[in-house]
Amino acid sequence: MNNRAVQLLNRNPYLLSLLLLIIMVVINRALQDNLFEIGPLNGNLRVFTPAILVAVGQTFVVIAGGVDLSVGAILSMTNAILATQIPQDATGDVFVRALALAIGAGLLAGALNGFGVTVLRLQPIVTTYATSFIFAGVALRILPEPGGRLPRELTSFWRNPLAVSPDFALPMSLIVIGLLILFWVVLTNIRYRQNLFATGSNAEAAYSTGIRVNWVKFSTYLFSAFFATLAALALTLGTGTGNPRAGDQMTLPSVVAVVLGGTRLAGGQGNAVGSIIGALILGLIGNIISFANLDSWVRPLVDALIIIAALAIPGIFGVMRRLTR
């Protein structure tokens, strides 16, 4: 590989993920020929949306040099809140109140993580792993068994594609993805972005420069918790019911998606758009595994391999750079 290519990849690591995504789409398409029809497309994307949202939130934490292992539990907790607070006959008012409650609880959870990391100065892994048990416990307290049923109007609003014109409909989840990208583009053009990346890259230097490093770190946990709550909303609307263990399998994949998207696990470099791509890749891998009738243990194996590869990538890049000098 020549120098230019290495440099391009170094600066835009998600280009590699984009390539991987295309490969996954091609394989998926070969196994499922109606993949691009509105029905399956809508269904697939809707199922992927919670994971995408969680991954976007996780991106903030990872860029700042931390990791949030409690996102799954926060999702479970807020999912339980939404399912119990929105009865089948809920009005708009009730829905808004429930949503506000869930977001409030989510942010509180995020604040607790941020407090542990910035004030108590505990390791992010330790803090969020510990708090995840609290949030998981709260979820079970609120909703001991899967249950609850949301109003049909509400769920069908989310489930059905939005008819833009008589012969063109847009999956709601695609709109969400569009909004997420827009959100990231806006964010990359404000000072917060600079503070975030500086903090993750060299916190000491950032502090000397006058950046409130602790606030930045704190804020990333609020972001990850907030997006986990949005993920819970997407999940609750998608399934129409609640499950206190809904987030059990969401945490590790969120980290994997972030890494797949080209965000550096050590912090200081990254991209939420990449994380969206990463989550899509993981979703498609899940599809492929089930279509190809592979055993279900393949999925965690794939996750693990991706993490190991991600940890090795900086080293590989380093070797390439040495060789091209």
Give dist(CA 172, CA 28) in Å, integer: 22
Q: What's the sign of the alpha-carbon dihedral 94, 95, 98, 100?
A: negative
Give dist(CA 109, CA 75) in Å, integer: 10
Identify which range of 107-115, 142-150, 199-207, 308-316 contacts other proteins by CB under 8 A.
Answer: 199-207
DSSP letter string, 250-311? THHHHHHHHHHTT--TTSS---HHHHHHHHHHHHHHHHHHHHTT--TTHHHHHHHHHHHHHH
β-pairing verdict for 162-165 and 168-170: antiparallel
Identify which range of 24-32, 68-76, 207-215, 301-309 contacts other proteins by CB under 8 A.
Answer: 207-215
Size of the site for other proteins (CB under 8 A): 23
Binds other proteins by CB under 8 A, chosen from 13, 65, 253, 268: 268
Q: Report yes or no: 63 and 220 within 8 Å, Cβ to Cβ.
A: yes
- In whole angstroms, the minimum distance from the beta carbon of 317 to other proteins comes to 12
195 forms part of the interface with other proteins (CB under 8 A): yes
Q: Report yes or no: 38 and 13 within 8 Å, Cβ to Cβ.
A: no
Q: Which is nearer to other proteins, 166 or 210 (CB)?
A: 210
- In whole angstroms, the minimum distance from the beta carbon of 271 to other proteins comes to 12
The H or E element that residue 168 is part of is strand 168-170
User: Which residues make beta-bridge pairs with 168?
Assistant: 165
Neighbouring C-beta atoms of residue 218, cutoff 10 Å:
19
Identify which range of 77-85, 91-99, 142-150, 206-214 contacts other proteins by CB under 8 A.
Answer: 206-214
Q: Report yes or no: 42 and 173 within 8 Å, Cβ to Cβ.
A: yes
Q: Which is nearer to other proteins, 63 or 257 (CB)?
A: 63
- In whole angstroms, the minimum distance from the beta carbon of 308 to other proteins comes to 23
Q: Which is nearer to other proteins, 132 or 199 (CB)?
A: 199
315 forms part of the interface with other proteins (CB under 8 A): no
Q: Report yes or no: 172 and 162 within 8 Å, Cβ to Cβ.
A: yes
Binding mask 132-171 toward other proteins (x if CB under 8 A, else -) reads ----------------------------------------
To the nearest 10°, report the CA torsion of 312, 314, 318, 321.
Answer: 120
Q: Report yes or no: 135 and 77 within 8 Å, Cβ to Cβ.
A: yes
Binds other proteins by CB under 8 A, chosen from 88, 91, 160, 208: 208
218 forms part of the interface with other proteins (CB under 8 A): no
Binds other proteins by CB under 8 A, chosen from 12, 32, 84, 202: 202
Identify which range of 96-104, 186-194, 216-224, 285-293 contacts other proteins by CB under 8 A.
Answer: 186-194
60 forms part of the interface with other proteins (CB under 8 A): no
Binds other proteins by CB under 8 A, chosen from 198, 225, 256, 288: 198
Identify which range of 45-53, 161-169, 198-206, 252-260 contacts other proteins by CB under 8 A.
Answer: 198-206
Q: Which is nearer to other proteins, 115 or 207 (CB)?
A: 207
For 225: left if phi > 0, alpha if psi spans -120 to 50, otherwise beta; the answer is alpha
The H or E element that residue 102 is part of is helix 92-114
Q: Which residues bind other proteins (CB under 8 A)?
A: 11, 189-191, 194-195, 197-198, 200-202, 204-212, 268-269, 325
